[in-house]
Structure 1
Amino acid sequence: MIICGIKLTHDGALALIDDQQLVCCIEMEKLDNAPRYMHFNIEMDRLEQLLQQYGYSFNSIDRLVLDGWAPEEQITINLGKGNFPVKLAGYGSMVMRENILERQCFDMPGFSGLSYASYQHVAGHIAGAYCTSPFANQQEDAFVLIWDGGMYPQLFYFHHKTGSVENLGVLFMLIGNIYSIFSQHFGPYKVKEGVVNDQLSVAGKVMAYIALGELKPELLPVFRSIYDAPGQKNMQFANSFSKTFLQQVQGRNYRDEDILHTFHVFLEQLLVEKLTAKIKRYPGRQPNLCFAGGCALNIKWNSAIRNTGLFKEVWVPPFPNDSGSALGTACCEMITAGTNYALDWNVYSGPAAINNGADEKWITQETTVQELAQLLFEKNEPVVFLNGAAELGPRALGNRSILAPATDAAMKEVLNKIKSRESYRPVAPICLEEDAPDIFEPGIRDPYMLFDHKVRPAWKDRIPAVCHLDGTARLQTVNSTDNPVIYELLMAYKQLSGIPLLCNTSANLNGRGFFPDAASAMAWNEVNYVWCNNRLYEKTEKHSFQLLSPTYNTSI
């Protein structure tokens, strides 16, 4: 059975599943340097072209599935016959006791005889998280925690034997967007009254910014008293919570950085407290947890949950936010259609990188991974690295990355400058899995950059570019199976330098999706080298990055 899932709203995408195997997942932002969070905007001719690249056509699709959304919003689709409003299943801010995997069917407007299914948005997060998890492969049950922007944190339990989802209820009454809504009153995120900031992008920035602050323990009871105060906690509670806090601390001269840091800790403690209490009400269940929704991109919360010891394993997919919703709604249909709930998938299932665009300003030649490692070692400057199919989700995991040596503290400044990012933003390390425990704490396997790790003291001076202000790192580990090309590059670089990691940040224009081709990276014109599928493009008139000469300690 061939299933095509489509996410129409922000983070628009299509996912194609053929007999429980993921063929591809194409996020709109990863085509043509499109803006981040792009809606689904392709007509039938383009859709047909995309499917043909994988040997399929629109007519070969057995089941078409559209992700659910808020019913008050009018959503349209254009498949070459104009924009038509479509009916969708709901959002699921707080689901009650209904069948969470209820399948709703509709006729496609403008297409005689074409019908589609739709599932609640929350159901897509549940199915996408579970079906990609190791628990599905092991035929085990699992708790599934979903906390998305417009949702309260909700706990479910997936019963593998029956393919059914049990609703265990809400943990607490704060929607995921509270993190962004609260921040709009402080620091660089402060906005004028009545204006809402960009909630899709600001949360990740705040997570980095709080490293500038410190915990103020006396504020934790203030946050808790506001939350515990009697009164209705509806969808507007996030706004009233923020305004009440402002009133209570007015004139107390707290730094914005400290307030945001402490608020982060308050939410983390509340999440752990309520999750722990809820799990203890269900003894004897299999101690597996899937966590998805936009809040599952918060690496510190993920680590806090893992550190509770409540679970044998915590699984966070690399696309926990809405970038995984097309895949998730397709997984809902896969669950409904059969008895095998484990998706055969690979994180590198996005659009393929294209070699193109060389001109007189760039020279080009075939360059092996070993030769690229030599270049990184000798030149000590950033290289755009484009390889094969793009990674799924919002984080560059090696195939759409800017790579650079981490031995010079100034490299973080260089990377943030060429990316037009704030100076406090961290740069992630991409590291050989077998060496990670020696460099990071805990340093265990983390192939999707979704947990928090501390840089061990002995390594802080050796890899300063990937040390965040609080001494942590958003680590990605790589082994020979995860990404053989990156693994080969890191091995070669380690042999030369004694350092088994590189800086890794996303290769994209500011506010845009990943570079789709070499031409885009060259047109960006911020680096001297672009490597794409074993071909190196070298700028003839070089930028000067004014970095220190690298110094290496080859003993490891």
Structure 2
Amino acid sequence: MTSILGISALYHDSAAALVTDGRIVAAAQEERFTRVKQDASFPANAIQYVLAEAGISGSQIDHIVFYEKPFLKFERLLDTYFAFAPSGFRSFREAMPIWGREKLFQRRLLGKALGRIDPAMGDPEKLRFSDHHLSHAASAFYPSPFESAAVLTMDGVGEWTTTSAGVGSGSDLRIDRELRFPHSLGLLYAAFTYHAGFKVNSGEYKLMGLAPYGEPRFAQRILDNLIDLREDGSFHLDQRYFNYCTGLTMTNARFDALFGRERREPESPFEQFHADMAASIQQVTELAVVRMARDLARRTGENNLCLAGGVALNCVANGKLIADGAFENIWIQPAAGDAGGALGAALAYWHLELGGERPQPEAHAMRHAYLGPGYSGSETQTALDAAGARYELLTDDLVVDRTAQALKAGKAVGWFQGRSEFGPRALGNRSILADPRAPDMQRRLNLKIKFRESFRPFAPAVLAEDAGDWFDLGEESPFMLITAPVAQAHRTAHAEHRRDLAHGLNTPLSDIPAVTHVDFSARVQTVTADDNPRFHSLLLAFKAHTGCPVLANTSFNVRGEPIVQSPADAFRCFMGTGLDVLVVGNCIMEKHQQDTKLAQSYAEEVPLD
């Protein structure tokens, strides 16, 4: 039996994953333990967790694989500086001490950090390094249900690569095309994220959510000036408009002049201009992704496509890919960003370096993302007692029914069950749930519970067997990574309704307005009894009480903090927000029954995102 530890760290979204004989045992992000969003530090807590989940010690780890090659990254930094010198001196001067102190000696630093967890893991012979985009590609193909598939990865940048394409077949995976820095679809989208006043590597979700309120009136200007996009999806970015190669910002004065507006100050009011900019870059991104996929389908002849990299988290673009039909089937790694690189690094080493066989589909296919820590009933009660919670302990059936009735009554529920999700989406184990039929629920969840912008949409979790009746969705969407239209039969507004920021927020659009975006789209999660029986039971119970098989589902956290990991995290968030009910395992508690001294001013404690 061969156990491989994969690690991603030291940029953002640090994580650890454990693979044994090609099977995924456990995976988790460091942020969930440290409570620092997108924590980039060495994932000591995540490593300790995956070892404990597997019931093994460090001496039983055969290989440790880091998700990228630091020396190649350093090469890019040097080459970029010399290409743009002297304009990049300031950023070069600030980066060099970090590289000189840490990055160039990463093998030694990683070995020491691993040795502190278990001396047996500090052996330098165990440590290997994978290519960044190979890690992404492996995370996409090997856990997919496909025997063979085309593979496309897109992100900001790895060592040099920003986009890669190839083919996986059985245990083999080869990358045969790539685009290189500074030409990056991820960095182009990040530039608009930055200009909109959002945080790069965090606010891209916000930009995507803002886009449907606007018109893509700047799309042609982007295509004429910023990106030379070819028919095969390859492209070239005009670096005169960007600052990420040489400066400490994403865009520059030339970019501002092109669109006639300086960068929006964070937390300042939105104008229609910002929605139109978001709509424009979203349309260009979709066009580029679809062209890449069409070319890949033509070149490979494959019917299946696997996606990873940060751009693969753009669920609107994913929906356009599916609707385009270049591929019959698409599978997207739920932890598509750098966290998933830890998983991909381990899988790539097992298959490509050790020649390991791919397990049967039922063993290797990643049907769900519940790979993080879970808590027993006694552990849950001990944590809640220590926090001073007042709760009832119910049977399985009763806790589900009581929760469904609370949701029907319009209460917002923190729902904490089983093992936590790997990746950025809460998929029914660390979720905030609500009745999607309530017209004011979107605004209430955003402002009183999540403490975030009111325009941001929520996702519908729907019984897989009922999904086709409520959404124009051609396939399952277990990871909430595909956007689909709400079915015409459930729409209540006319297609010509106003989609601008001034009117779009206050117009009920469907029978489930809390999860229907201004363009009638929804980021759907389909739930099956096999993949999450408890969440499926809750949806069934809610349907029995209301006739609606859909719940509004958002991650159990507030803006600026990671998704809750432990029962203590859940109770703290419950007491610092407008949540009405908390359900942790079989323990259920209501806000009005809690000790008011435990209430917290949560919104002021969490940094802005």
Say if 1:31 and 1:351, in contact at 8 Å, map to a contact too.
no
* Deviation string, structure 1 residues 374-398 (Cα, Å, up to 9, x no partner): 4324532111111110011100000
Which letter maps to 1:350?
G
SS class of match (1:536) = strand
Whole-Å Cα distance in 2 between the matches of residues 66 and 411 of structure 1? Answer: 43
Structure 1 residues 215 and 50: alpha-carbon distance in aligned structure 2, compared to 1, 3 A threshold:
closer
Q: 1:47 to 1:361 in 2, by over 3 A?
A: closer
The correspondence for 2:525, drawn from 471, 476, 489, is 476
Range with greater deviation from structure 2 (345-354 or 524-533): 345-354
8 Å contact 2:434–2:552 — kept in the other structure?
yes
| More off after superposition, 238-247 vs 401-410 | 238-247
Secondary structure at the residue paired with 2:327?
coil
Question: Percent identity at matched positions?
Answer: 28
Q: Which moved more, 1:334-343 or 1:250-259?
A: 250-259
* Residue identity opposite 1:326 in structure 2: A
8 A contact 1:5–1:65 mirrored in 2: yes
Report whether the alignment pairs 1:401 with 2:431. Answer: yes
CA distance in 1, matches of 2:453, 2:229: 37
- Structure 2 partner of 1:57: 57
User: What is the Cα deviation at residue 182 of structure 1?
Assistant: 2.4
SS at match of 2:282: helix
Is residue 226–residue 241 contact of structure 2 (8 Å, CA) maintained in 1? no
Question: Is residue 197 of structure 2 the alignment partner of residue 184 of structure 1?
Answer: no
1:340 maps to what in 2?
357
Q: Which of 145, 152, 158 lines up with 2:152 in the alignment?
A: 145
Match of 1:426 in 2: 457
Residue 365 (structure 1) aligned with residue 393 (structure 2): yes
Output the amino acid matched with 2:67.
D
Compute the displacement of 1:112 (Å): 5.4
Give how far 1:466 is off: 0.8
Q: How does 1:15-414 map to 2 (within 5 A)?
A: 15-32=17-34, 34-41=35-42, 43=44, 47-48=47-48, 51-71=51-71, 72=74, 85-87=105-107, 111=122, 114-135=125-146, 139-140=147-148, 142-150=149-157, 154-160=163-169, 163-170=172-179, 173-186=183-196, 189=197, 198-216=199-217, 219-220=219-220, 223-228=223-228, 233=237, 238-239=242-243, 243=252, 244-250=254-260, 255-280=273-298, 282=299, 285-335=301-351, 336-341=353-358, 343=364, 345=366, 346-353=368-375, 355=380, 356-358=383-385, 362-368=390-396, 369-414=399-444
Structure 2 length as normaliser, TM-score?
Answer: 0.75
Q: C-alpha separation between the residues in 1 aligned to 2:356 and 2:37? A: 36
Question: What's 1:536 paired with?
Answer: 588
Q: Distance in 2 between matches of 1:290 and 1:430?
A: 23
- Deviations for 1:322-369, whole angstroms, at most 9, x for unmatched residues? 121111111111112124235354411111145122466623322534
Does the CA-based 8 Å contact 2:414-2:583 persist in structure 1? Answer: yes
2:157 is paired with a residue of what secondary structure? coil
Displacement of 1:541: 4.4
- Distance (whole Å) between structure 2 residues aligned to residue 129 and residue 504 of structure 1: 25
Q: Cα distance 1:237–1:363, how it changes in 2: closer, same or farther (>3 A)?
A: same
Shift of 1:509: 3.9
Look up the equivalent residue of 1:68 and give its one-letter code.
Answer: E
Rounded Cα–Cα distance in structure 2 between residues aligned with 1:373 and 1:381: 9
Aligned residues: 506
SS in 2 for 1:259: helix
State the alpha-carbon separation in 2 of the partners of residues 382 and 388 from structure 1: 20
Superposed CA RMSD in Å reads 3.5
| 1:469–1:22 CA distance, 2 compared to 1 (3 A) | same
Alignment partners' CA distance in 2, 1:144 and 1:422: 35
Query: Aligned partners of 2:156 and 2:524: how far apart in 1?
Result: 25
SS at match of 1:503: strand
Q: TM-score, structure 1 length as denominator?
A: 0.82
- Structure-2 change in CA distance of 1:178 and 1:225 (3 Å): closer
The CA distance in 1 between the partners of 2:389 and 2:477, in whole Å, is 39
Give distance in 2, aligned partners of 1:313 and 1:39.
Answer: 34
Gaps of 5+ in 2: 75-94, 245-249, 263-270, 492-509, 596-609
Change (3 A) 1:463 1:55: same
**Residue in structure 2 matching 1:444, options 457, 475, 479:** 475
User: Which one has a larger percent helix, Structure 1 or Structure 2?
Assistant: 2
